[in-house]
Amino acid sequence: MLKKKSIIILSSALVLVMLFAGCQSAAQPMAAADNTNTAEPTAKAETAGQIEDGIRVIEIAKGFSESSISVNRGEELSIIYTGETAGVSLSVPGYEAENTSDSNTVALYVKAKVEGEFEVSATDGGATETGLLVVKPYENQAVFRSVGPSDFEAAMTGDYFLLDVRTQEEYDEVHIDGATLISVYDLENRISEIAQYKNTPVLVYCHSGNRSIVASQILVENGFMNVTNLDGGITAWVAYQAQKSN
C-alpha cells in the first residue's frame, strides 16, 4: 500500500514538473519577442564631408542613396558625384541646383540656406538614383551659440574678439566697429593669426548668418572654446541699430 502510494506521489510530482517546464517553454518566445521590439535610440547622423577653404566638400558615388547626406544650415556645399560611365548629372531640385558632365564625375554647388530634407538625384549611364540631403542647424552647446542682435550686443563686454568673415568689399561698405576681417574662405589658413583668442569669447558675423556658421565650425574644430554667431548677420544688426535709434 505504501509502495503504491509512493508511486502515485512520484507520478503527480512528475506531471507538475512537466507542466511547469511546458509553461516556461511557452513563455520563452513571448519574452524573445519583447526583447526584439525594444528599439535602441537612433544615432545622430554625422556631418558629411570636410570643410576646405570655407566650403564643405562631399564626395559620393553610385549607391549613395543607401544613406543620407547630413550637413549644417548655412554651409556652402560642393557635392562631387562619381559614376561608372561617361555622361553623368547631379541635381538637388529643392535648391534648384543641377549640373551635368561629359566625364564620369560631376560637381554641384549648393548653398544650404534652408533646413529640411531635400532629394538628391544622380543619373549615370541612363540609370537614375535618388538620395537625401538633410540640412540641420549647427549645434555644439558646450562651446557654440547663435543669437540675435540684442544678445550679440550684450556679449560685447569685457574681453572679447569680434570677427567679420565676409569679403573686403563687404567690410568696406559696412562693418561693426572693432571687427577684424578674415574671410571665411581664408580662415583655415589664417587660424594661427588669432590662436591667442582660443579661450576668449569670439563673436562672429557675416552678411546674413550663413558664412558665419561655417566660420564658427572652423573655430570650434580648431579649439576655440567660446564662439557666438550673429543670427541674421550684419543685415539684422543694421536693422536692430536703426530700430534702437528711432
Annotated catalytic residue: which of 77, 204, 206, 219?
206
Is there a single domain that holds both residue 154 and residue 220?
A: yes
- Short-list 74, 172, 83, 98, CA closest to 129: 83
Q: Pick the last residue of a domain from 136, 168, 198.
A: 136
Kindly state the helix (H) or strand (E) to which residue 215 belongs, with its residue range. Answer: helix 211-221
* CATH number for the domain harbouring residue 229: 3.40.250.10
Whether 170 is in a domain gets the answer yes
Is there a single domain that holds both residue 154 and residue 226?
A: yes
Please count the structural domains in the chain.
Answer: 2
* CATH number for the domain harbouring residue 74: 2.60.40.420
Is there a single domain that holds both residue 149 and residue 233?
A: yes
- Short-list 63, 80, 197, 176, CA closest to 130: 63
**pLDDT mean values, one per 10 residues, the chain (246 residues):** 39 38 37 34 66 96 89 95 95 96 96 95 93 94 95 97 98 98 97 98 97 97 97 97 91
Is there a single domain that holds both residue 72 and residue 92?
A: yes
206 belongs to the catalytic site: yes
Rounded to two decimals, what is the model's pTM?
0.76
Q: Pick the last residue of a domain from 136, 153, 170.
A: 136
Is there a single domain that holds both residue 115 and residue 200?
A: no
Q: Which range marks the domain in which residue 109 is found?
A: 50-136
pLDDT at 45: 56
Helices and strands in the chain, H and E counts: 5, 14
Whether 33 is in a domain gets the answer no
pLDDT at 246: 84
- Short-list 106, 101, 66, 99, CA closest to 82: 106
> Residue 29 class from Cβ within 10 Å (0-12 exposed, 13-18 middle, 19+ buried)?
exposed
